[in-house]
Amino acid sequence: MNNEQKLILAHVVVDPNAWYQHSINTFGQEKADKFLAEKVARHRSDYEEAVKKPDYKNRFERDQELLAEQAKRLQELQRN
């Protein structure tokens, strides 16, 4: 997996390396490479548009932000 593929994959999965390794372990290198190419092609245009924004966040960063917001809301609910 090259850097560009990793960046595009990181737009839609939390851990691109783990996703790719799981694919290799499950289906073998040839199929994993095919799945990677298909997933990158499917999400390339979304990624290219999103990364232009000054506040761009990849999937991991978006998930971390969401978890932090949920934890804050939970704390507020527990105080009331």
Q: Are 4 and 53 in contact (CB under 8 A)?
A: no
Q: Domain range holding 56?
A: 3-79
What's residue 80's pLDDT? 74
Q: Are 10 and 16 in contact (CB under 8 A)?
A: yes
Residue 15 structure tokens: 């851990």
34-71 pLDDT, tens digit each: 999 999 999 999 999 999 999 999 999 999 999 999 99
User: Tokens 């990364």 sit at which residue?
Assistant: 51
Say how many domains are in the chain: 1
- How is residue 56 annotated by DSSP? -
- pTM across the whole model: 0.85
